[in-house]
Amino acid sequence: MTSVTGLDELRRAIAENGERPEGPARNARAEQLLADAESLGLPLAVIEALGHQLIVYNYSSEKDKAFVPFARLLRMWDERPEDFDAYETHSLFWRFKWMSTGMLGQPHIPLDAMENWLEEMERRYRLAGHSERAVRSCEFHVASHVGDLERAEVAYAAWLSADRDRMADCYACELQGQGWWQVIRGRDEEALEVWAPVLEGRFTCAHEPHNVLASSLLPLLRLGRLGEAKANHLRGFRLVRATESMRASYAEHVEFCALTGNEARALELLAQRPAYFTDDGHPSSKKDYLAVTALLMDRLVALGMGDRQVPGPAGRDW
């Protein structure tokens, strides 16, 4: 592809790349566009290209790369905030949330670093005049992730009671997290009630109802609502099948098949995504995927099929 020669051309190229499927090819193009932007000598061009790079990394199997463009954007903001237009200013603060919760999927990041980042996010949001709603949501996710249930409950209540402003996640994403907390606390019925507006299509976004459909499968099974679970599997899998960044949700569909006597279907799902066994950009979702793969293998062994060849990483026989 040829290099871009102006800001308008860069913006068209960024828009075109944003429409491409998630994955390494889109990420590589974003990296080239950043190099092109840097050659233009326009700070806003670099800011927009960095923002695009951050987005494609975040919505891919290379989530670990997103921290670098964000750190660079934050440094540029601290040095010359006047280089950011209104949209890029909003985007910078919006993506604080991605970084805060994104750290949870990266086990090499120490907990102290996450706590320091939360404090930094809170300080910057306060100075910018934003509600603490997004901050308390991120604090809730950190606390629940490390098993600090008391702190998580306090942060959860503060999240829900804080004013909604332009930094708050969309309703669909917020309901996804709130329903997940009900599941963690053993309240499956309550979780499904929280998720109902998303499952019914009243609230949607780029990755919802994809996540909620996947997360609803086991609660529905535990409640004996197999028909609804099957319907959510069929509907939800169509949404996550071609979305590279949704490995954790994909794993929930594999798990559902393994637990409902549909081991053959679960094997078909594994065969469709060999890269999920090896993509390392988001260790947390890789752990989820390997865990349900192990569950499926245990089921096959229990059924007397321990010597069967099964799908695995590309180029390897299992």
Model confidence pLDDT, tens digit, residues 96-144? 999 999 999 999 999 999 999 999 999 999 999 999 999 999 999 999 9
pLDDT digits (tens, 9 = 90+) for 235-261: 999 999 989 999 999 999 999 999 999
pLDDT band at 3 (very low <50, low <70, confident <90, very high): confident
Position 99 in a domain? no
pLDDT band at 5 (very low <50, low <70, confident <90, very high): confident
Residue 105 CB neighbours (<10 A): 19
Percent of residues, the chain, with pLDDT higher than 90: 96
Q: How many domains does the chain have?
A: 4
Q: What is the pTM of this model?
A: 0.94
Domain closes at, from 240, 263, 286:
240
Q: Is 191 exposed, middle or buried, given 0-12, 13-18 or 19+ CB atoms closer than 10 A?
A: buried
Same-domain status, 258 and 234 = no
Position 146 in a domain? yes
Stretch 75-93: mean pLDDT: 98
Position 262 in a domain? yes
CA–CA dist 63, 95 (Å, integer):
13
Same-domain status, 211 and 268 = no
Domain closes at, from 120, 143, 168:
168
Exposure on the CB side of residue 258, measured as CA atoms within 13 A: 22
Domain closes at, from 168, 183, 200:
168
Model pLDDT, residue 1: 55
Position 222 in a domain? yes
Model pLDDT, residue 316: 79
Same-domain status, 295 and 277 = yes
CA–CA dist 266, 62 (Å, integer):
25
Model pLDDT, residue 173: 97
- State which residues form the domain around 147: 104-168
Same-domain status, 8 and 52 = yes
Same-domain status, 70 and 139 = no
Model pLDDT, residue 256: 98
Residues 209, 199 contacting (CB under 8 angstroms):
yes
Model pLDDT, residue 318: 79
CA–CA dist 312, 318 (Å, integer):
6
Same-domain status, 8 and 45 = yes
pLDDT band at 43 (very low <50, low <70, confident <90, very high): very high
Q: What is the mean pLDDT of the chain?
A: 96
